Structure formats: C-alpha cells, structure tokens
Amino acid sequence: MPNSNPKTAKETEDYVQNLIKTKNYKSIWDFVDDLAVLLARIGEESLDSSKIVGEVGYAGSPLKPRWAIKDGCEPFHIKDSITGKFVSDPRVLLIGRIICKIGSQQGYGYEFMEELYKATGKEFHSFISPLGYAWSGISEWSS
C-alpha cells in the first residue's frame, strides 16, 4: 500500500479498485484487513502521534499507544466548511458502502461492515466509536 492516504472519495475509489486489481486475495477477509488499515490511516489523520494519552485495544488485540486527537478534529469526520459541523468523511463513507455492497451481494452486508469495524479497531490508535458514528448514515448498515 502506498504511504500517502487518498485525499478524495474518487482517489479512495481508485485506491480500492487498484487493491482489487493488483492483489491476489486468497479470501475476502484479506481484502477487509487491507481496507481496515486504510480506514485506520484515514482516521489517524485527526490524531497526534507525538501525544500519547494512554493505551487502547480492541477485540482482543494487543494494547497500543492511544494518540491524542488534534484540536479541531474528529476521527473519520471532516468539518463542513459551510455549517462548521463535523460530517462523515466521504472517503470513510465510500469504503463502508463498498464493503456493505460486497457483503450484501453475499447476504451479509451488516456482518461484513461489523468485521471491517473490528479489524479497523485493531489498527487504530484511539477509540473506534467515531467510525460507527461516521457510518450511521449508510442505509444498508442497518439492513
């Protein structure tokens, strides 16, 4: 995976398409793991790795340093330039919708999103709950 995160939803879509084309996935779960790493990196754009504020772990993963949230930021969200409120990051919504669509095609939309959520939590250096809030607007999430 490249070192820099995609900056737009279109770049994210291209990134995911490139993963699908260039990686020889042995299972869907390997793909989910790669998406989890990308989601964690996107979420960590809002974190300050130089400020450790404790430890965090998720779903049986080893504890890792918990990074402080940067002032004026919220993981997995962006600030709307018109309202000044935090809204779901379009890149995060796109990834959620992709995995939900793949899961729905196999009859397991919610379960795939749940697994992606758990896998992201294992990678992420803070509490994972903001990801769930970001995804709350995905209608397929609850179906």
69 lies in a domain?
yes
Instruction: State if pTM tops 0.95.
Output: no
Write out pLDDT tens, residues 58-115: 988 899 999 999 999 999 999 999 999 999 999 999 999 999 888 888 888 788 889 9
* Parent domain of 55: 26-142
14 lies in a domain?
no
5 lies in a domain?
no
Write out pLDDT tens, residues 20-58: 999 999 998 999 999 999 999 999 999 999 999 999 999
18 lies in a domain?
no
CB under 8 A, 24+ apart: contacts of 83-92: 88/133, 88/134, 88/135, 88/136, 88/137, 89/42, 89/134, 90/8, 90/9, 90/12, 91/5, 91/6, 91/8, 91/9, 91/11, 91/12, 91/42, 92/39, 92/42, 92/43, 92/131, 92/134, 92/135
Total structural domains within the chain = 1
10 lies in a domain?
no
